[in-house]
Amino acid sequence: MSEILKLEPEAIWRNFHLLNQVPRPSGHLEKIQQFLLNWAKEHHIESRLDNAGNVLMYKAASPGMEDRKVVTLQGHMDMVPQKTPDSQHNFETDPIETWIDGDWVRARNTTLGADDGMAVATIMAIFEDDSLCHGPLEAFITADEETTMYGVDHMEDGLLKGDILLNLDNETHGELMVGSAGGVNLTAELEFQTVAPEAGDKAVRIVLHGLRGGHSGLEINEGRANANKNLARVVADAIANFEARLAEWKGGNMRNAIPREAEAVLTLPAENVAALKEAVETEWQRDLVDEYGVIEPNLKIEVKEEAMPTSLVPEEIQDNLVDALLACHNGVLRFIPHLPSIVETSSNLAIVEIVDGRAFFKVLVRSSARSLLLHGRHEGDDRRRLPRLATLAGKRDRDAHGTGLQRPLRRRPEGTSGACRIGVFGDFEPLPRHGRRIVRPHAPITSHAQRALLHSFGGEILAPRARNTSSHA
C-alpha cells in the first residue's frame, strides 16, 4: 500500500494516489480524460468532455443552498514529464511511484505531478463528499496547461456558469494572484546534407549533467545553469582548439523546463582526444563549478568514448549553429522598472536537437509587457533577436503559440489605502492587506477567468517558490 494513503486529509491523498496511477503527460491525455469521466459516472456526478479536451463536472447545491452563487473549481489534468537520466520510466504507460521523505511527498526519479494533480484530487474530494454543505459547484479541469494552454484557449463558450472561480494551481496559502507573464514559443529548424567524417578521427561524447533544471517561469531568476548554453561554450572551444567536428546534439526536452543535461557527439583527430578530455574534465569542470558551484552543487561534465558516427554537420553550418547557440539570450533579460525585483522579460533555450541532417531549436520567451513579447519594439527584444539569429544560422524560424499575459502591477496611486481589491468575473470584493502577499508570477496563469484587476495594494510582493526573497521567478 502506498505510504501517502495514510496521510491527511485522507480523501485528497487517496484521490491523488488514484491520479498517479494514470499516465497524464502533456499531449497524451486520453487516459486521464477517460479516468475522470469514469470516476464521475461512478460517483453519480454529471460530467462531459468539451471539444478542447477539458473535463467539466457539475454538482447540484445542497438542499436549502440553491440560491448561493455558483463556484467553479479549476485545475489542470496534465503534468510535466521529467525524469532522472537513469530512470526507465515511461510517462505514457507507467504510474508515478511516490514515497515520503520527512515532511515531503516525492516521486522516485520522476516529477511528482502535484502540479496540478493536487488540485484535481482536491476537486474530486469535494465532489465525492455528500456531507459538505455548498451551493452549486462546477469543476473545470483543463488540458495541456503545461505546454500550450490549449484547453483554456479553446474552451467552449457557455459551459461554465460560475460566479466565483477558485483556481487551485498555486502552492502558498494567503497569496493573491494579480497578473502574470505571457509566453511565446520560438522554434527554428534547418535541414542540411551531412558529410562523412575524416578517416582516422576518433569520436567522443561530451555530457553535461547533474544540473537542477527547474521551471523557466519560476526559477529563471535564480541563475541556474542552462545545459544547452554551457555545452555550447565547451563545444565552441573544442572546435576552435582541438579540431573537433559536430555530429550530434541533444539537450532538454520541455520548453518550459530549464534544461538540466545536454550532450554532444564530436569527432576529432585521435592525437587530440586526450588533450580535449583533460581540458573538459579539468579546466571546464573547474570553471563551471566556479561559476555555478553554489547553486549547482552536482554539476558534472565528462568526456566518454563513442562509436564513430556515420555523418557530420558540414563545417560552415556547424559553426553557424554553435554561434547561434552562443548568441541566443538565456535567462532574465529585463526587470520591471517600477518593480525592480520582479522579472519582466526572459528566455529559456529549452531544446536543442541536431541529428541526421536536421537541427531543431526551441526557445520559450516570456514577458509581462505586451510590446516586448508581441510587437518587438525593444531593441533587445528576444522576439526579434532570436529569428535574426536563426536567419544567420541558416535556419527558418516559426512561432508556435503564445499564451496570454496579464498586465503587470503598477505603482499604488498616491492617497489610496493599503487594501487590495481583486476582481473575479467582474465582481469586486475587498481583501485585507494584513497577512496577504501579492503575487505576479513570471508565467501565464491558467484561466482567462482570472483576469484579476489590481486597484491598490500593500504588503509584500513575492514570487512562488522564491522563498525568503522578494524577487519574482
Mind telling me the catalytic residues?
Answer: 78, 145
Q: Where are the alpha helices (DSSP H) in 49-169?
A: 114-128, 150-153
- Residue 45 one-letter amino acid: I
Alpha helices in 45-178 (DSSP H): 114-128, 150-153
* Pick from 80, 76, 78, 79: nearest CA to 139: 76
C-alpha 461 chain-centroid distance: 22
Alpha carbon distance 433, 420 (integer Å): 6
The torsion angles phi and psi of 42, rounded to 5 degrees, stand at: -60, -30
Longest CA–CA span in the chain (Å) reads 85
List, in order, residues 6 or more apart from 471 with CB less than 8 Å away: 221, 341, 342, 343, 463
Host H or E run for residue 208: strand 201-209
Residues 51 and 120: beta-carbon distance below 8 Å: no
Q: Using DSSP bridges, classify how beta strands 175-177 and 437-439 pair: parallel, antiparallel or unpaired.
A: parallel
Q: How far apart are CA 197 and CA 267, in angstroms?
A: 7
Residue 133 CA to residue 124 CA, distance in Å, equals 15
Whole-number CA gyration radius for the chain: 24
Return the amino acid letter for 261.
Answer: E
Is 422 in a helix, a strand, or coil?
strand
| Three-state SS at 462 | strand
SS3 label, residue 172: coil
CB-based contact 258:220 (threshold 8 Å): yes
- Which amino acid, one-letter code, is at 93? T
Strands 55-59, 137-142: pairing kind: antiparallel
Q: 565528462: which residue's cell?
A: 302
